[in-house]
Amino acid sequence: MKKTIYLMLALLTVSSISVAQHRKGQHQEKKASVFEKFTAEQIATINSKRMTLQLDLTDKQQKAVEALELKEAQFKKTKMASRKQEKSDNKTLSDEERFNRINERLDRQISYKNNLKDILDDDQFAQWKEEMERRKMRRGKAKMKRERRSRK
Specify the long-range contacts of residues 48-51, CB closer than 8 Å, at least 24 apart.
Answer: 51/128
Contact 43, 73 (CB under 8 A): yes
Predicted confidence (pLDDT) at residue 57 exceeds the cutoff of 80: yes
Q: For the residues 9-25, what does the mean pLDDT come to?
A: 63
Type of residue at 103: N
Encoded amino acid at 56, one letter: D
Looking at residue 84, its pLDDT comes to 85
Global confidence as pTM? 0.67
